[in-house]
Amino acid sequence: MDLSCLNTIDCQQGAVRAVRFNVDGSYCMTCGSDKKLKLWNPYRSLLLKTYGGHGNEVLDACGSCDSSQIVSCSSDKSAIVWDVSTGQPLRRLRGHAASVTCVKFNEESSVAVTGSLDNTVMCWDVKSRNTSPIQTLKEAKDCITSVQVTDHEILTGSVDCSVRRYDLRNGSCHADFVGAAITSVSFSHDGQCILVGSADSTVRLLDKNSGELLGEYVGHKTQDMNIESGIITSDNHVLSGSVTGELFCWDLVGGNVVKKYTHTSKKVLNSISIHPTQDIVLTASVQTIKVWGKAENAPENVVNV
């Protein structure tokens, strides 16, 4: 798989804490340390909107299923649901006792799931005007760094070295001990595997149901940074950021490093976002984001992405 940098955008937001695609991959959001959230068309380097309202750095964001709302979370211990077109904050979800590190919508965008440094995960009802969460998950013993939501599961990764999968259908919670503080969790596209990136410079692939180790990917350096990882659409390759500014790409089955793409040398590449359907990746490092994709998908050629 060959990716080339299709575009580079200087976000002018201080440091970009996270970059996220929206539900169909046509837009992306960048969360800045300047307390602002920006909406871009990454293929044309267009800034569409800036959302201001957080009291502190914005740490994560997620777009709704119809792209009409964005939920973002911040070090100001709250999450805000924004109306995309007007830019107005619709709801403020306050309840966490410490900064909220990650947020995701569920499939129907009726629930926002937030994870925080206060060791809890809270599920918020976006439809009602309730100011308290529907449910709080307190099983973790340390900060929550990453959360993923599918149609019937909530996956959380925590610094207490355990990745927890809450199955709403079965009414169970499976906690898998990984051995190192977890920095990011994600599902494979077939939903059977969980990719766990941890702070010991290892990315592990676990089986969802049994918890067994299916693959281990090393070579990158994370030190103690919160580096994100993910599986690319075709489920063939595993991607991860690194402290050295390189986007590492491993073969999923073999576990060997296939390619290393440099964003900004010696600058931490902390956030990545994978296009939901195509082999396009967004990486964020310090102040800039880069769009990586197949060479033929250069901006001139992109029409209906």
Q: Is residue 110 near another protein by the rule CB under 8 A?
A: yes
Tokens of 77: 């211990």
Piece in contact with another protein (CB under 8 A), picked from 28-36, 55-63, 103-111, 292-300:
103-111
Tokens of 241: 């950021």
According to CB under 8 A, which one of 55, 179, 191, 254 is a site residue for another protein?
A: 179
Taking the C-alpha atoms of residue 154 and residue 173, their distance in angstroms, rounded to an integer, is 9
Q: Is residue 162 near another protein by the rule CB under 8 A?
A: yes
Residue closer to another protein (CB basis): 2 or 254: 254
CB of 161 to another protein, least distance (A): 5
Residue closer to another protein (CB basis): 110 or 278: 110
Q: Tell the residue number behind the tokens 């793409």, with chain if given.
A: 261
CB of 20 to another protein, least distance (A): 21
CB of 79 to another protein, least distance (A): 16
Q: Is residue 152 near another protein by the rule CB under 8 A?
A: yes
Q: Is residue 88 near another protein by the rule CB under 8 A?
A: yes
Taking the C-alpha atoms of residue 114 and residue 40, their distance in angstroms, rounded to an integer, is 23
Taking the C-alpha atoms of residue 78 and residue 96, their distance in angstroms, rounded to an integer, is 7
| Cα 302 to Cα 18, 23, 116, 118, 296, distances in angstroms | 24, 18, 37, 42, 9
* Sign of the torsion formed by the C-alpha atoms of 32, 38, 40 and 46: negative
Q: Report the candidate in 177, 60, 71, 197 with the shortest Cα–Cα distance to residue 123.
A: 71
Q: Report the candidate in 112, 103, 111 with the shortest Cα–Cα distance to residue 74.
A: 103
Taking the C-alpha atoms of residue 1 and residue 253, their distance in angstroms, rounded to an integer, is 14
Q: Which parts of 279-298 interact with another protein (CB under 8 A)? A: none
Q: Is residue 256 near another protein by the rule CB under 8 A?
A: no
According to CB under 8 A, which one of 74, 106, 222, 283 is a site residue for another protein?
A: 106
Q: Is residue 216 near another protein by the rule CB under 8 A?
A: yes
CB of 38 to another protein, least distance (A): 21
Residues that bind another protein (CB under 8 A): 83, 88, 90, 106-108, 110-111, 123, 125, 127, 134-135, 137, 139, 141-142, 151-152, 159-162, 166-180, 204, 206, 210-213, 216
